[in-house]
Chains A and B, each alone.
Chain A
Amino acid sequence: MSEYLQAERAQEWREVQRKSMKNKDRTAIPRVKMPEVNPEVRSHTYDEVNLGLTEALALEESHRCLDCVDPTCITGCPVEINIPKFIKNIERGNYPEAARTLKETSALPAVCGRVCPQERQCESQCFYTLKLKKEPVAIGHLERFAADYERNSGHISIPATAAANGIKIAVVGSGPAGLAFAGDMVKLGYDVTVFEALHELGGVLRYGIPEFRLPNEIVDIEIDGLRKMGVKFETNCIVGKTISQEDLKEEGFSGIFVGSGAGLPNFMNIPGENLIGIMSCNEYLTRVNLMQAADPESDTPVYKGKRVAVIGGGNTAMDAVRTARRLGAEKAMIVYRRSEEEMPARVEEIKHAKEEGIDFFTLHNPIRYEGDERGRVQRMLLQRMQLGEPDQSGRRRPVAIEGDTLWLEVDEVIVSVGVSPNPLIPQTFSGMEVTAWGTIVVNNDTMQTADEMIFAGGDIVRGGATVILAMGDGRKAAKSMHAHLTHPL
């Protein structure tokens, strides 16, 4: 890999770009700011909040990248995008080539440019962050710019694929893990079919992440790209239910990749949690995103609470609370048992939520709900918390302040306290090893399960992580399944 990177870096055009500006001048440029829709306006619409960089902003930002000899940024990327190459392509104005560079290793660049936590990945390993102690190159914003530019140009490049080898591969789930896997396998010439349980493709990209953060159209176009590369998709098909593991073997599938996700919401098991108006973040977001329940023409209903509490501090909690705001909540609240510092949500999501008028009840934990005579939630009892010693996750443990509670009036509660692996595959597949938590056990280097024909990745292995980590798993699994099929041990 690094030989390839060095060869790419040694190309004449790269040298020309490097010499076109002194590093001193490059590092003097301040980091670009992502243009955003005004918070007051956007908290009433589903339009995307981040507008994307203009060409001028992207060009300016691209000049900050030093095209380092040792591009440490790439080590921070789960799918190993050739970051300097795509940024220098932007710098020389060759945007289509920048987009093609992204697609060398990423099946979903327009998605990643929007939802990846770059501040914890590539940008955290940028030379600016590590050595200059300055704000990193805005790699994520540039990634989105290149992917959007190509899409808006109407000339979407389809990555080259190897000659068809006729080997059939099944993918369980069309979320980020499955799509990344499918993209890499189809490039290698495999005959790939993706099976999806829902009626729409994309997994969490479709049912989970809201329109204002990731428009459905972007997901459609990226999936369409995979389809053009030859990937086949079957919706409304649950592997393990509609078709069995044996059926797949009988139909000649030589390998299976399981990316069925973490589709089982956790509840807190506290009194009153089954009252009407209390639901999981999965249910709430699925109604709004997948079923488009906010559209008056949609048959699927959704609560439009006026006083909405979202329990949790992750990205999904932020998505839910910002959705509630857009559905007309006068008071939309985050209730989180630790302090803001421990919140797992991206800094950008917390910032956006605050700008949109979301109230934060940190160091509060619900312990009971009460409803009216029809069983609709009316109020919640919150326990005040303080931070104690760090726990296994390294975050300071929240401890109840004995006797310090308060009642809060609510008419809708969205529980966003994590998800567990979907049990359907572990229950219906034989030959794999499953942990007590329901995750599938894999070899971490190869993503291979105890059944040598089955590989797995994403949340069904990790138990709840990010889009890009799932995609990284998919790529790793594709590489090792290809190795296994071509050189079996």
Chain B
Amino acid sequence: MNKIIAKENFSEKVVRFEVEAPLIAKSRKAGHFVIVRIGKKGERVPYTIAAANPQTGTITLVIQRVGRSSEKICQLEVGDYITDMVGPLGKATHIENFGTVVCAGGGVGVAPMLPIIEAMKKAGNRVISVLAARSKELVILEEQVARYSDEVIIMTDDGSYGEKGLITHGVEKVIQREKVDLCVTIGPAIMMKFVAQLTKKYEVPTLASLNTIMVDGTGMCGACRVTVGGKTKFVCIDGPEFDAHQVDFDEMLMRLKAYN
């Protein structure tokens, strides 16, 4: 049982929670995720950790209402408890001074990107963050991202904020302008697919953080399997980050619809 300490509605669809989880807060690193279950009939759902504070013993999750399970969590209030939470899971992001890193986060994917932006900046990288959303209300965490970024580029589908256009336009502009050593992308699978296509064209090494269907999250079930470089990998223990140019995004998109 993990107590909810704070709740903030970023938008109608996106909620930020701060949850008591002292052991996870202490041991997690950028890129790690947790598995969360609400209620005795609840399913196990993975969420990437957006932030952690070992002093207060809390972690931050940013959750978008997309289905029954995320809806259940979003209905919880401060003082309520999350029935089960386990983590940190997955492999941590490999952080080093690459040079210039473009962090391309779409929608709620900006939340799990935040600790990577912070870690990349602290490792000495020049960090350019490209944040994309459908419209202005859905742009999240801009201020926190700006704190650790040398530049923030905002893209919206409808042009209501920043520049009008897709995330790939923002990323391409940077690549054409200066040498980029690494791109990290987190967001909807379809978005990551197009970012990967773009950066492959320019031969910019790219990591994508995948969020697939999982059950246990510890390598036990294989529900999360993806094809990377022609080989089957488990997102939970081999990932969640993979070489985006090797990921079979079409298969991943298909498998995400397994229970729709």
Contacts and interface: CB of A to CB of B under 8 A. Distances in A.
Contacts of B68: 299
A169 B27 CA distance: 22
A374 B215 contact: no
Contacts of B88: 241-242
Contact of A244 (B27, B43, B220, B251): B27
A300 B215 contact: yes
A274 B215 contact: no
Most chain B CB within 10 A, of A277, A286, A295, is at A286
Contact of B232 (A199, A207, A267, A297): A267
Most chain A CB within 10 A, of B42, B86, B251, B255, is at B86
A286 B218 contact: no
A422 interface: yes
Interface stretch (A232-240, A351-359, A398-406): A232-240
B225 interface: yes
Given A237-B23, A283-B223, A422-B219, A291 B44 contact: yes
Contacts of B86: 197-199, 236-238, 242
Contacts of A276: 254-255, 257-258
A273 B43 contact: no
Contacts of A424: 218-219, 237
Contact of B215 (A235, A236, A287, A298): A287
A175 B215 CA distance: 18
A169 B88 CA distance: 23
B41 A298 contact: yes
B240 interface: no
Contacts of B259: 301
Given A236-B84, A242-B27, A300 B220 contact: no
A282 interface: yes
B27 A241 contact: yes
Given A237-B86, A242-B24, A286 B221 contact: yes
Interface in B97-155: none
B85 interface: yes
Q: How large is the interface on B (under 10, 10 to 19, 20 to 34, 35 or more residues)?
A: 35 or more
Contacts of B181: none
A197 B218 CA distance: 8
B41 A295 contact: yes
B41 A297 contact: yes
Contacts of A263: 216, 218-220
Contacts of B251: 274, 375
A410 to B, nearest CB: 16
A472 to B, nearest CB: 23
Interface string A183-219: 0000000000000011100000001000000000000
Contact of A375 (B83, B225, B255): B255
Interface in B231-248: 232, 237
Given A199-B84, A274-B227, A286 B216 contact: yes
Interface residues of A, number: 40
A269 interface: yes
Interface string A221-236: 0000000000000011
Most chain B CB within 10 A, of A197, A263, A267, A283, is at A283
A243 B86 CA distance: 11
A236 B35 CA distance: 9
Interface string A476-487: 000000000000
A279 B223 contact: yes
Chain A contact residues: helix, strand, loop or mixed: loop
Contacts of A280: 221-222
Most chain B CB within 10 A, of A197, A238, A242, is at A242
Contacts of A464: none
Most chain A CB within 10 A, of B39, B44, B221, B259, is at B221
Nearest to A419: B220
Given A242-B24, A243-B27, A375-B255, A267 B215 contact: no
Nearest to A427: B237
Nearest to A421: B219
B93 to A, nearest CB: 16
B69 interface: yes
B170 interface: no
Interface in A233-280: 235-238, 241-244, 263-265, 267, 269, 273-274, 276-277, 279-280
A269 B254 contact: no
A267 B254 contact: no
B193 interface: no
Interface string B68-84: 11001000000000011
Contacts of B221: 265, 279-280, 282-283, 286
Contacts of B46: none
A376 B42 CA distance: 26
Interface in A279-331: 279-280, 282-283, 286-287, 291-292, 295, 297-301
A264 B219 contact: yes
Interface string A118-148: 0000000000000000000000000000000
B219 A423 contact: yes
When A and B form their complex, which 5 residue pairs have the shortest distance between CB atoms, in order from nearest? Answer: A283-B221, A375-B254, A263-B220, A199-B84, A300-B43
Given A283-B221, A374-B254, 17 more contacts: A197-B86, A198-B86, A238-B86, A238-B87, A241-B88, A242-B24, A265-B221, A273-B232, A274-B251, A276-B254, A279-B223, A283-B215, A300-B43, A375-B251, A422-B220, A423-B219, A423-B237
8 contacts: A236-B85, A237-B86, A263-B220, A267-B232, A269-B232, A279-B221, A292-B41, A299-B41
